[in-house]
Copies of this chain bind each other. A is one copy, B any other.
Amino acid sequence: MCEASVYLVQDGKEELILENVDELHKEGDKIKMINLFGDQKVLEAQIKMISFVNNKIVLEKAG
């Protein structure tokens, strides 16, 4: 089993949003993420990149 850290890229900078993320769901214009500890975050964003090698997911603002 593996988890990822989720980052939001804005103005070329990556901001850490949530660590140990197990699941992401697209819900309309939003991304809902849930981590190992049951913490949830919802962001108005879209998935730009997933790297399983680096356990990393990068989101960007839509539009």
A3-47 to B contact mask, C-beta < 8 Å, 1/0: 110000000000000000111111000000000000000000011
Contact A23–B53 (Cβ < 8 Å): yes
- How many copies of this chain are found per oligomer? 2
Which B residues touch A25, using CB under 8 A? 48-49
Interface of chain A: mostly helix, strand, loop or mixed: strand
**A51 touching B22 by the CB < 8 A rule?**
yes
A57 & B50 in contact (Cβ 8 Å cutoff): yes
Inter-subunit contact A1/B53 (CB<8 Å) = yes
Q: Which of the residues B1, B49, B51 comes within 8 Å of A52, measured between beta carbons?
A: B1
In contact, B46 and A2 (Cβ under 8 angstroms): no
B53–A26 contact, CB under 8 A? no
